[in-house]
Amino acid sequence: MAIRRVLRMGEPLLRQVAAAVTRFDAGLAALIADMDDTMRSLNGAGLAAPQIGVSLRVVIFELKDNPRYPYLTPVPYTVLVNPELTPLGDEQDEGWEGCLSVPGMRGLVPRYRRLRYRGCDAGGARIDRTVEGFHARVVQHEVDHLDGILYPQRVRDLRNFGFEDALTGQMTPMPD
């Protein structure tokens, strides 16, 4: 498989609403393998198919135990196809997000603290989970990509958006 180029904010495909997956075939498996290779090569915590130029509703995410982020609970490797999110409660948390499509930047983004997500894995088996914290955040970030939304659009106060190296000491970063 292959490491693919990651599209950057401004490229039109990142603003499109991605299409649902209808076939769980070899083409889907190849797409997911490329997403895996690309995410791992960049030490990302998540990636959506549109970020490698494929406008389909597929996201992947994973957070291993990482000494850079000791305050985050690990998230199991997950492939999520045709996701549906249901927030549980109104509570939101603010967190400093980054994105492989917005390299070098960080922004403070509100996300629902708890949510239920449903969808399918790479083979079409149903996934149904209730999660919170960073796990809930990464799912919301990745699913936003499928609706053409990048996290800077969610930053409420643009004073809380800037270059990661300029913000050192002013924030608690999350992985891209």
Catalytic amino acids? 142
What's the Rg (C-alpha) of the chain? 15
In the list 32, 99, 108, 143, the residue contacting Ni ion (rule: CB under 5 A) is: 99
Please identify, using beta-carbon distances, which residue of 99 and 108 lies nearer to Ni ion.
99
Nearest approach, Cβ of residue 176 and Ni ion (Å): 7
Stretch binding Ni ion (CB under 5 A), from 32-40, 58-66, 94-102, 128-136? 94-102
With residue 93 as reference, give the H or E element that holds it.
strand 92-97
CB-nearer residue toward Ni ion: 28 or 49: 49
When CB distances to Ni ion are compared, the closest residue is 99
Structure tokens at 34: 């490329």
* Closest CB 26 distance from Ni ion, rounded Å: 26
- Surface-to-core class of residue 165, CB atoms within 10 Å of its CB (0-12 exposed, 13-18 middle, 19+ buried): exposed
Residue pair 151/45 in contact by the 8 Å Cβ criterion: no
Give the range of 54-62, 95-103, 110-118, 128-136 binding Ni ion by CB under 5 A.
95-103
| Residue 96, H or E segment | strand 92-97
Q: For residue 10, what are the contacts with CB-CB under 8 A and spacing of at least 6?
A: none
Supply the minimum distance, in Å, between the C-beta of residue 131 and Ni ion: 18
Q: Return residues touching Ni ion (CB under 5 A).
A: 99
